[in-house]
Amino acid sequence: MSLVITGASLMGGPRKDLYVDDAGRLVGELPAGAGRSRGVETLDADGLVALPGLVDLHTHLREPGREDAETVLTGSRAAAVGGYTAVLAMANTTPVTDTAEAAIRVWELGREAGLVDVVPVGAVTKGLAGEELAELGLMARSRARVRVFSDDGRCVHDARVMRRALEYVKAFGGVVSQHAQEPTLAGPAACCHEGEVSGRLGLPGWPGIAEEVIVARDVMLARHTGSRVHVAHVSTAGSVEVVRWAKAQGIDVTAEVTPHHLLLTTDLLTTFDPTYKVNPPLRPEEDVKVLREALADGTIDAVATDHAPHARHDKEHAFVDAAFGMLGLETALSVVRTVMDETFTWADVARVMSQSPARIARLDGHGGTLSPGEPGHVTLVDPTASVTVDRDDSVSLSRNNPWHGRSLTSKVVHTVYGGRVTVRDGALA
């Protein structure tokens, strides 16, 4: 059945009706009101902003291995509620996604869930051990069409392995997404940002320089190999400086920032609440300010959630012992809208949360522009809503939600995936 989305403002521009045909493709814009007479399913979007379906470059779905924290199905639900129509599922599952079979399995689970495109990320190295390259070519050529490779959770710290990986993925337009954390500078005990607060609280810290030296090394390796590198969850002003320099040299580098690194700061450590323990750690206000500026000026290409669900028994520990990570899929758009000022337009939101991530991941069928011929993936947002986050409202299996109790601006109301309404009035359809 075809669908008409009526009265939405396209990326904050003029109000139009959007028509999705029965093959799930955007047919084109109709003048407002024209859709109502066509005798097809109608989705009322009066007063809402229409964005191309959001794409998350960095999601942890936990299946296989930790289905008590999240599954492909529950993570897909959280994604849809957050306005996403595609997520890249990180490889640090048990077993690790380091073979074509493992990648196909995740991809199939995503198809079964049927709520978003679940695109597996392949590990760079076998078992994330950082030594031997995983089956990069087989994963790329498989039905799962893997294009993004990452040992996320661990850094590909061996420069020789990183160089090989970059050379290898070049052959099929792949990219290495690096978790930049130099392991001798950020030792195994490090649990938060190294600085004044960690010193005062006596917590072992991980300094910004541990990220920056890897980013600097990797952009040089990308230049040397003529290949493409992506910096996952950039968290410091120094990393931004390196990325800005590298882009100016024409080096093929892209970068993402998480919603939490755009708002939350190191001071939250004083609560000793392990909800705020995340990797890379929350940084000081000075870094947050630079990250926002870099997102606005395009130095940082994308917002990616790093949605990292954890079961209670892994999170509810003393700060030093708790697992790293926080939820993000359901709140990402509202956080971005809350932290970025009015000069950051809806077209900018579409760029950093849909268009650029789709381009970086070489995703088929996520054009990110709502143009005719693109698949009917549409996110409809109420720009005036204010929501107070309640962690128990989540459709994720986990509750490690750092936004609990906070008021955020704007809210995803409906999500349309391939012409099918997956979320209506904020709830799964």
Ligand X SMILES: NC(=O)N[C@@H](CC(=O)O)C(=O)O
Residue 179 one-letter amino acid: H
Please check whether residue 103 is in contact with residue 111, taking contact to mean a CB–CB distance below 8 angstroms: no
Check binding of 254 to ligand X (CB under 6 A): no
Residue set of the binding site: 58, 60-62, 92, 152, 179, 233, 279, 306, 310, 324-325
Least distance from ligand X to the Cβ atom of residue 158, Å: 18
Map tokens 């990110």 to a residue. 368
Residue 411 backbone dihedrals phi, psi, to 5 degrees = -150, 140
Considering beta carbons, is residue 158 or 364 the nearer one to ligand X?
A: 158
Pick the catalytic residue: 306, 364, 382, 393? 306
Q: Could you tell me where the beta strands, DSSP code E, fall in 261-406?
A: 302-303, 378-388
Least distance from ligand X to the Cβ atom of residue 174, Å: 20
Check binding of 242 to ligand X (CB under 6 A): no
Check binding of 279 to ligand X (CB under 6 A): yes
d(CA 139, CA 123): 10
Least distance from ligand X to the Cβ atom of residue 6, Å: 40
CA distances in angstroms from 354 to 278, 303, 357, 375, listed in the order given: 24, 9, 6, 13
- Which of 54, 278, 304, 335 contacts ligand X by CB under 6 A? 278
DSSP letter at 363? -
Considering beta carbons, is residue 287 or 306 the nearer one to ligand X?
A: 306
Please check whether residue 79 is in contact with residue 49, taking contact to mean a CB–CB distance below 8 angstroms: no
Least distance from ligand X to the Cβ atom of residue 179, Å: 6
Check binding of 60 to ligand X (CB under 6 A): yes
- Which of 2, 85, 92, 142 contacts ligand X by CB under 6 A? 92
Q: Site residues for ligand X, window 305-334 (CB under 6 A)?
A: 306, 308, 324-325
Least distance from ligand X to the Cβ atom of residue 396, Å: 13
Total site size for ligand X, rule CB under 6 A: 11
Residue set of the binding site for Zn(2+): 58, 60, 152, 179, 233, 306
CA distances in angstroms from 252 to 175, 224, 225, 244, listed in the order given: 10, 11, 10, 11
Going by C-alpha positions, the residue among 235, 236, 240, 238 that lies closest to residue 254 is 240
306 is catalytic: yes
Considering beta carbons, is residue 153 or 205 the nearer one to ligand X?
A: 153
Considering beta carbons, is residue 279 or 394 the nearer one to ligand X?
A: 279
Going by C-alpha positions, the residue among 310, 323, 330, 394 that lies closest to residue 68 is 310
Considering beta carbons, is residue 152 or 374 the nearer one to ligand X?
A: 152
Considering beta carbons, is residue 209 or 347 the nearer one to ligand X?
A: 209
Least distance from ligand X to the Cβ atom of residue 154, Å: 8
CA distances in angstroms from 374 to 140, 175, 196, 314, 365, listed in the order given: 23, 24, 50, 41, 6
Indicate the pairing of strand 427-428 with strand 420-424.
antiparallel
d(CA 8, CA 14): 8
Residue set of the binding site for substrate: 60-62, 92, 279, 310, 324-325
Q: Site residues for ligand X, window 133-172 (CB under 6 A)?
A: 152-153
Check binding of 368 to ligand X (CB under 6 A): no
Least distance from ligand X to the Cβ atom of residue 402, Å: 11
Please check whether residue 167 is in contact with residue 193, taking contact to mean a CB–CB distance below 8 angstroms: no
Bridge partners for 59 per DSSP: 89, 307
Please check whether residue 412 is in contact with residue 353, taking contact to mean a CB–CB distance below 8 angstroms: no
Considering beta carbons, is residue 291 or 308 the nearer one to ligand X?
A: 308
CA distances in angstroms from 380 to 186, 192, 406, listed in the order given: 41, 36, 22
Report the interface residues with ligand X, using CB under 6 A.
60, 92, 152-153, 179, 278-279, 306, 308, 324-325
Tell me which residues are annotated as active site.
306
